[in-house]
Amino acid sequence: MTVRSRRAIALAVVLLALIGLGGPARGALSDYYLSAGSGTNVFAVRFAGTMNSTWRGFLQSGISAWNSTYSQTGTLISTTTGSTTKSLQLGALPSGTIGRYQYGGTRADRTFVITVDAQQIINSPQRVSSVAKWAKFTAMHELGHALSLKDNPSTSSASIMKYKPMGWAGVYGSPRAYDKNAVASIY
C-alpha cells in the first residue's frame, strides 16, 4: 500500500507567525477540503507503539478537543485497543517537524497513522507554551487532516490548520469556529 505524507507542522514556520485574524468565515469547499481525510467523522483510533501515560494523555486531549465539537460537527473519535486502521503514535520525524498525517486506502475506507515527535516538542527552544499544549495542538491539527481539513486554508479566520495564527504566545487549545464550520460542512 502506498502511504503518502501530508505536510506536517514545522516549528520553523510557526515561529514566523503573526498574531491574528478575524472572526469566523466560511470559504469555498476548496479552501479547506482534503480528500485524504476520512469519509466519516465517527471513527475509532488506537494508540500504537510505545507511549507513556503522560503522552497518551496529551494525545487524548487532542482527541477530546474534537469530540467537544460534537454538537456542532458530529465528530466522535473513540479509542480502542482492538482492530482499527487508524492510529496515533510517537516517533521521530524530520528535523523541524512535530506532527505528520500519513494516509492510505480510500476515502471510504481510510487508513492513517498520525505521528507526533515528542522529543522535538520537548527540545524545541521555540516552544514557549507548555509541552502539553503543543502536544495537544499537534494531535488536534493532525486529526484535522483525518477530518478532511487541509493545511493553511485560504481564510483570514483563525484556524488550527493554519500556521500563521500560532505565535510566540502559544497555540490554540481547541478547534476554531472556522475549523468547526468546515468539518460540519463536509460531514
Interatomic CA distance for residues 36 and 49, integer angstroms = 23
Least Å from the CB of residue 83 to Zn ion: 27
AA letter at 152: N
The C-alpha cell at 42 is 465517527
- 58/101 with CB nearer Zn ion: 101
Beta bridge partners of 111: 104
Least Å from the CB of residue 101 to Zn ion: 6
- 151/179 with CB nearer Zn ion: 151
For residues 50 and 88, the answer to whether their CB atoms sit within 8 Å is no
Least Å from the CB of residue 115 to Zn ion: 12
Interatomic CA distance for residues 103 and 87, integer angstroms = 10
Q: Which residues bind Zn ion (CB under 5 A)?
A: 151
Least Å from the CB of residue 13 to Zn ion: 10
The C-alpha cell at 109 is 475506507
- 115/181 with CB nearer Zn ion: 115
Nearest by Cα to 102 from 30, 37, 31, 11:
37
- 53/144 with CB nearer Zn ion: 144
- 16/80 with CB nearer Zn ion: 16
8-state DSSP, 182: H
Least Å from the CB of residue 149 to Zn ion: 8
Question: Residue with the closest Cβ to Zn ion?
Answer: 151
| 92, burial (CB in 10 Å: exposed 0-12, middle 13-18, buried 19+) | exposed
Nearest by Cα to 111 from 56, 44, 64:
44
